[in-house]
Amino acid sequence: MTKNAQLAAWVEQSAALMKPERIHWVDGSEAENSQLVEEMVRAGTLIQLNQTTHPNCYLHRSAPNDVARVEHLTFVCTRDQDAAGSNNHWMAPADAHEKIDALYAGCMRGRTMYVIPYLMGPYDSLYSRAGVEITDSPYVVANMRIMARVGTRALTHIEAGNSFVRGLHSVGDLDPDRRFIMHFPEELLIKSVGSGYGGNALLGKKCHALRIASWQARTEGWLAEHMLILGLEDPTGKTTYVAAAFPSACGKTNLAMLVPPAVFNGWKVWTIGDDIAWLHPGPDGRLWAINPEAGFFGVAPGTSSKTNPNCMGTVGRNTIYTNVAVTADGQPWWEGIDQPQPENLTDWQGRPYDPANGPAAHPNARFTVAAAQCPSYSDQANAPQGVPLSAIIFGGRRSTVAPLVYEALNWEHGVFTGASVASETTAAATGKVGLVRRDPMAMKPFCGYNFADYWAHWASFGERSTNLPKIFHVNWFRKDGAGRFMWPGYGDNMRVLKWIVERCEGRADALKTPIGSVPHFDSLDMGGLDLTRATIDALLAIDPEIWTQEVDEIAKYLDSFGERVPAALMRQVARIKSELANQRAA
Ligand code: OXD
Ligand code: MN
C-alpha cells in the first residue's frame, strides 16, 4: 500500500480492470525474493540449476514464440503523429488505450498482481528517475529486482513527491496476435501485453529508460542513450571514461567488461554499464554519464572465458538464465561457451538436443545478473553525479564499408556520424537476421520521438558547450573477400580504445579524411598481435567510390525524415560529398 494518492488510485483502477485474485506490493527484500523463487520452482516457471556449480541460479524457458523484442508491435502513441516520427510505429492515444484495455479486461483473473516500485539510477542521484511496474509475472518481478533498484526505498522516493513513470504489464495469453508494447510519453505511461520477454516486459529497461526517458531528456536538456559506459585506467592510474552505442547483440557487454591483452600491462577496464546511459551536461560543460540499470540482461551465446572472462566470472551465481540449454547435471550451456557440447543435452525448449531442431540455446538466450557481481565493476558505478565522458563511440556490424575506427572532425560531424550508423540485424529482435539497416545512434528501436528532432537535440549540445566528448566510430566486424572477420575483436579492441584515449589527450597521430580521422598505421598499438600490414591497411581503408555511394544512401535516409532534419546534418552531407569528389578527381 502507499501514501501516494495518485499511485494508490492507479493501482486500484488497474485492479478493477484486470481483476487479479490478490495484489502484492513488492518490497525488494531477500525473504520476498526467496519465497517468489520457491513458488516459481514449484510452478515450473523456474528450473533450479546445479546448485554446487551454479549456486542460486535458475533457468526459465519462455514460450517459443516469445523470445525477442517485437518491433512491429511496439508503438509510440503521441497526440501528434509527427512527434513520434517515421522511426516509430504510431497509434492515436485514444485508439491505443481502447485496443489494449480490451486485452487487459479480466486478464489477471486467478493471478497475483505485483506492484513494483523501482528507481532507475543510483540512490541519491538527482539524475535518477522512479517508476512503478504493475505485472502478473513473477519472472518479471525477479528480473526487475536484479535490473533496477526495486522496493521500499523506491516507494519512499515516490512518496516524497517525485514523479514516476507508470508501466502496466500482463503476459495475457502470450498470443502474438494479442501482443502490444505501447508508450504514451505525454502521460509518462507504458502499457504492455502478451509477452514475458525482457525488452517487452521488464518495463524499466527499454520502455522507460530509453523510449520514455529520451522524450523527457529532450524537453529537459539531457540524453537517454543505448550505450555502455566504461572507465579505462592507464598504467599511471588515470581513468578516462567512454560511452559506446552499438545496436543490440553487437558486443556492448563484451566491450564494457574487456580484459586487455597481456602486453597491455597496467591497463584496466572498469565496467559502469553495458546497455543504457543517461548523459547530463555538468556545470563544467562536460557530459556526465550514469547507468540507470543495476544489472545485466545479456546475450549468452558466444560468451566464454575467451570472449568475455569477466562476464563468465559474473554469471556463475545468483543468475536467472532464459532459454539456454542444460547439461545432464543441470549446468547452463550455450553455443560458444568454453565446454564442448556434452552428451545428453536438453535444448532451450526442454527437448533432448537434436541438431535438426537448430541450436541448443536460443540465439537470443539471456542471463540476468546483478552488475555488482562483475569482477570489473567500477567503484564509480554508483556515483550520484555520474562519470565525465571524454569520448563517445558509435558502431555497427558492417562486413564492408566502415573502417575499424575513425574520429569525427567536430561535434556536428560526430552527430552526423551517429545518425549514419548502419548495422546488420541480429537475433535480439524478431525478423530476419543479417540485413543492413540504418540504426542511428543504435536507437532505431528505442528513440521515443521523431529521429529528426532527436538529431536536432543532439546537435544543440554543440551550441551549449565547448567541453563535449570527442566522437568516434568503430566497426569490429569487417570481413575479407573469403568472408572471414579481419579483426580479432574482443580483448584486442583494447588497441582501438587506447588510440581513442590518446586522441582525447591530443597524443596519437591520425590521417584526416572526408569521413573522419583514421589512425596512422604506427599509432595503433599492435604489440603481440600477428596481423599483416596489408590486413591493417585494409581494415583502415576508406574507399572514396564506396563512400560516395554510402553518403548518398545516408542522405536519402536523412531526407526521408523531411523538413525537420537539422541543417547541420545536411551541411555534413554536402561537405563530405564535395571532399570525396575532390579526392576522386585527384
Ligand atoms: C537488449 C536489446 O536487450 O538491445 O539490450 O535488445
Ligand atoms: Mn540493448
CB 472 within 8 A of CB 500: yes
Instruction: Choose one of 187, 221, 255: the last residue of a domain.
Output: 221
Q: Which atom in ligand 1 lies closest to the alpha carbon of residue 428?
A: 6
Instruction: Tell me how crowded residue 477 is: count the other CB atoms within 10 A of its CB.
Output: 22
Same domain, 266 and 159: no
Same domain, 429 and 567: yes
CA of 133 to the centre of ligand 2 (A): 20
CA of 411 to the centre of ligand 1 (A): 27
CA of 109 to the centre of ligand 2 (A): 33
| Residue carrying the nine cell digits 525488494 | 28
- Who contacts 437 (Cβ-Cβ below 8 Å, separation ≥6)? 422, 423, 425, 444
Does any domain span residue 559? yes
pLDDT at 434: 85
CB 202 within 8 A of CB 140: yes
Same domain, 239 and 269: yes
Instruction: Choose one of 221, 237, 272: the last residue of a domain.
Output: 221
CA of 428 to the centre of ligand 1 (A): 6
Same domain, 389 and 522: yes
Which residue among 66, 67, 69, 323 has the greatest number of ligand 1 atoms within 8 angstroms of its CB, and so is best to mutate?
69
Q: Which residues pair with 271 in a beta bridge?
A: 230, 377
* pLDDT tens, per residue, the chain with 586 residues: 899 999 999 999 999 999 999 999 999 999 999 999 999 999 999 999 999 999 999 999 999 999 999 999 999 999 999 999 999 999 999 999 999 999 999 999 999 999 999 999 999 999 999 999 999 999 999 999 999 999 999 999 999 999 999 999 999 999 999 999 999 999 999 999 999 999 999 999 999 999 999 999 999 999 999 999 999 999 999 999 999 999 998 999 999 999 999 999 999 999 999 999 999 999 999 999 999 999 999 999 999 999 999 999 999 999 999 999 999 999 999 999 999 999 999 999 999 999 999 999 999 999 999 999 999 999 999 999 999 999 999 999 999 999 999 999 999 999 999 999 999 988 888 888 888 899 999 999 999 999 999 999 999 999 999 899 999 999 999 999 999 999 999 999 999 999 999 999 999 999 999 999 999 989 999 999 999 999 999 999 999 999 999 999 999 999 999 999 999 999 999 999 999 999 988 8
Does any domain span residue 372? no
CA-nearest residue for atom 4, ligand 1, is: 248
Q: Which helix (H) or strand (E) holds 405?
A: strand 405-407
- What's the whole-model pTM score? 0.97
- CATH code of the domain covering residue 547: 3.90.228.20
Number of structural domains (the chain) is 2
State the cell numbers at 511.
590521417
Does any domain span residue 502? yes
Q: Which residues pair with 389 in a beta bridge?
A: 241
For the Cβ of 297 lying below 6 angstroms from any atom of ligand 1, the answer is: yes
Helix (H, G, I), strand (E, B) or coil at 211: helix
State the cell numbers at 137.
509475472
For the Cβ of 366 lying below 6 angstroms from any atom of ligand 1, the answer is: no
CA of 228 to the centre of ligand 2 (A): 9
Which residue among 205, 228, 248, 299 has the greatest number of ligand 1 atoms within 8 angstroms of its CB, and so is best to mutate?
248
**C-alpha to C-alpha distance for 376 and 271, rounded to whole angstroms:** 6
Q: How far is CA 255 from CA 147, 248, 336, 486, in A?
A: 19, 13, 17, 18
CA of 123 to the centre of ligand 1 (A): 24
For the Cβ of 228 lying below 6 angstroms from any atom of ligand 1, the answer is: no
State the cell numbers at 8.
494508490
Same domain, 169 and 182: yes
CB 326 within 8 A of CB 342: no
pLDDT at 287: 98
Q: Which atom in ligand 1 lies closest to the alpha carbon of residue 68?
A: 6
Q: What is the DSSP letter of 213?
A: H
State the cell numbers at 161.
513527491
Count helices and strands in the chain by DSSP H and E runs: 16, 29
CA-nearest residue for atom 2, ligand 1, is: 248
**C-alpha to C-alpha distance for 427 and 169, rounded to whole angstroms:** 23
**C-alpha to C-alpha distance for 265 and 146, rounded to whole angstroms:** 34
For the Cβ of 275 lying below 6 angstroms from any atom of ligand 1, the answer is: yes
Query: 434: alpha, beta or left, given left = phi > 0 and alpha = psi -120 to 50?
Result: left
Q: Which helix (H) or strand (E) holds 9?
A: helix 5-18
Does any domain span residue 185? yes
CB 292 within 8 A of CB 348: no
Same domain, 259 and 203: no
For the Cβ of 248 lying below 6 angstroms from any atom of ligand 1, the answer is: yes
φ, ψ dihedrals at 240, nearest 5° = -110, 130
Same domain, 153 and 176: yes
CA within 13 Å, CB half, 312: 17
DSSP per-residue string spanning 542-558: --HHHHHHHHHHHHHHH
Same domain, 382 and 408: yes
Does any domain span residue 421? yes
For the Cβ of 198 lying below 6 angstroms from any atom of ligand 1, the answer is: yes
For the Cβ of 315 lying below 6 angstroms from any atom of ligand 1, the answer is: no
State the cell numbers at 205.
529497461
Does any domain span residue 534? yes
Q: How far is CA 495 from CA 243, 291, 439, 507, 524, in A?
A: 16, 25, 25, 15, 6
pLDDT at 399: 94
pLDDT at 397: 94
CB 425 within 8 A of CB 434: yes
> Which residue range(s) make up the domain with 154?
5-44+71-221
State the cell numbers at 151.
522496493
Buried b (16+ CB within 10 A) or exposed e, 76-96: bbbeeeebbbebbbbbebeeb
**C-alpha to C-alpha distance for 517 and 406, rounded to whole angstroms:** 5
CA-nearest residue for atom 1, ligand 1, is: 248
Q: Which helix (H) or strand (E) holds 342?
A: none
Q: Which helix (H) or strand (E) holds 153?
A: helix 152-159
Ligand whose nearest atom lies closest to the CA of 429: 1
Instruction: Choose one of 221, 252, 268: the last residue of a domain.
Output: 221
Does any domain span residue 322? no
- CATH code of the domain covering residue 132: 3.40.449.10
Is 207 considered catalytic here? Answer: no
For the Cβ of 199 lying below 6 angstroms from any atom of ligand 1, the answer is: yes
For the Cβ of 445 lying below 6 angstroms from any atom of ligand 1, the answer is: no
Same domain, 574 and 431: yes
| Residue carrying the nine cell digits 538436443 | 353
CB 400 within 8 A of CB 480: no
CA of 400 to the centre of ligand 1 (A): 24
Reference 124, options 166, 152, 157, 159; nearest CA is: 157
CB 196 within 8 A of CB 140: yes
Ligand whose nearest atom lies closest to the CA of 228: 2
| Residue carrying the nine cell digits 505485472 | 135
Same domain, 287 and 235: yes
**C-alpha to C-alpha distance for 100 and 79, rounded to whole angstroms:** 17
Instruction: Tell me how crowded residue 344 is: count the other CB atoms within 10 A of its CB.
Output: 10
pLDDT at 55: 98
For the Cβ of 411 lying below 6 angstroms from any atom of ligand 1, the answer is: no
CA of 200 to the centre of ligand 1 (A): 10
Q: Which of 77, 250, 311, 447 is catalytic?
A: 250
For the Cβ of 298 lying below 6 angstroms from any atom of ligand 1, the answer is: no
Beta strands in 408-509 (DSSP E): 422-424, 436-438, 470-474
Same domain, 213 and 230: no
CA-nearest residue for atom 3, ligand 1, is: 199
Same domain, 286 and 142: no
Q: Which residues pair with 177 in a beta bridge?
A: none
Does any domain span residue 318? no
Ligand whose nearest atom lies closest to the CA of 225: 2
Q: Which helix (H) or strand (E) holds 40?
A: helix 30-43
